[in-house]
Structure 1
Amino acid sequence: MDGGTERMALRWFGAARRRARAREDDTRVLARVADGDAGALTELYERYARPLFAFIYRLAGDRGTAEEILQDTLLAVWRSAGTYQNRSSVSTWLFGVARRQAHNRLRGTPPPLTAEPSEGVDPLPGPEELAVGDDRVRAALARLPPAQREVVVLAFLDDLSHREIAEVLEIPVGTVKSRLHHARATLRGYVDDRTS
């Protein structure tokens, strides 16, 4: 093994170890939440509020509604932490809880016209916002059907794998791939139409 390949292998194994430790730590923190430790819930909030808010915001299209759904999510996590069975990562489980809370809140609500914040409101900008920083892309994303929007947000903004997305959405991996394929085609069409 040459030096470059060895360094890459060591970095990969180091990253894999860090992810495994983070997953174990998340599991311990969630167990503390299940035991009634409010400080542990705060730890989870500090770790996952940004990506969960970004996901919920893209589903709701409104900052105020997204904040309410995030609070609903935290309450649901507090109440149901004891049901976590370690079949997926804690982060995947949290996204599933957030998705269910969003669907409960948004049921019967017409989809948003745009996922843009109102003038002067900053929806926690960060890497997830920069990933779709182009106005054309954001407008196109808001026009996607909700099932496709969920998959795109989880894949590209929250960087979940196909398997993790399938767990969050409780659908087969093949359906995730199909929705991503259709969403990409739809997004490409929207962006192309606006540039013409």
Structure 2
Amino acid sequence: MDNRSVDSEETAHGRHPDARVLARVAGGDASALGELYGRHSGALFGFLYRLAGDRGTAEEILQDTLLAVWRSAATYQGRSSVSTWLFGVARRQAHNRLRGIPPPLAAEPYERADNVPGPEELAVGAERVQEALARLPLAQREVVVLAFLNDLGHQEIAEILGIPVGTVKSRLHHARATLRGVLR
């Protein structure tokens, strides 16, 4: 065995805590799946919520993602970080669920009788952004969410989506132009 395969295996199962935990999941350790959930569910849920546009759907896709991780943990080969691998699994689950389903529109905030801004009015900016994201094609929306809301680099996004880095940059460029027009 050459050093590269030893290093790859150590990276996949020994050096990084998430890789060790994922190896335990592959071995059938349910508590290890709980550890991964605790470490990554917030970021994965945020990603899925922005793709789905609906909390309930995002929660269901997150559960589908965990089931898929449980079933496929042994396929992790250490070629990317565990986090990148998890985002890829979540993305595939989202695509399976959302194929052909347009994202729901955000609800209109109700009017307050006392003219004092409440939480709904304070969240209008966030709602406008969510509505603008919902107007993007799914391919552009997922690149924007991964880049700006999950703070991933172009290379990591390319790995998660299985596309070239140039395509990531192109989708970001077109998404920015669309968002600028919608948010004006």
Shorter-chain TM-score bucket reads: 0.7 to 0.9
Classify the secondary structure of the residue corresponding to 1:134.
Answer: helix
Q: CA deviation at 1:112?
A: 1.3
List aligned pairs for 1:63-78, cutoff 5 A.
63-78=55-70
Identical amino acids, percent of aligned pairs:
78
Post-superposition Cα deviations, 1:66-107, rounded to whole Å, max 9, x if no partner, equal 111100000000000000000000000000000000111112
Unaligned runs of 5+ in 2: 1-14, 110-123
Partner of 1:91: 83
TM-score, normalised via structure 2 length: 0.80
Q: Aligned letter for 1:184?
A: R
Partner of 1:147: 139
Unaligned runs of 5+ in 1: 1-22, 120-131
List aligned pairs for 1:20-169, cutoff 5 A.
24-109=16-101, 111-114=102-105, 116=106, 134-169=126-161
Shift in CA distance, 152/103, structure 1 to aligned 2, threshold 3 Å: same
CA RMSD of aligned residues (A): 2.0
TM-score, normalised via structure 1 length: 0.75
- Matched positions, count: 157
Post-superposition Cα deviations, 1:25-83, rounded to whole Å, max 9, x if no partner, equal 11111011101111110000001111101111111111111111100000000000000
Contact 1:140 1:191 in 2 (8 A): yes
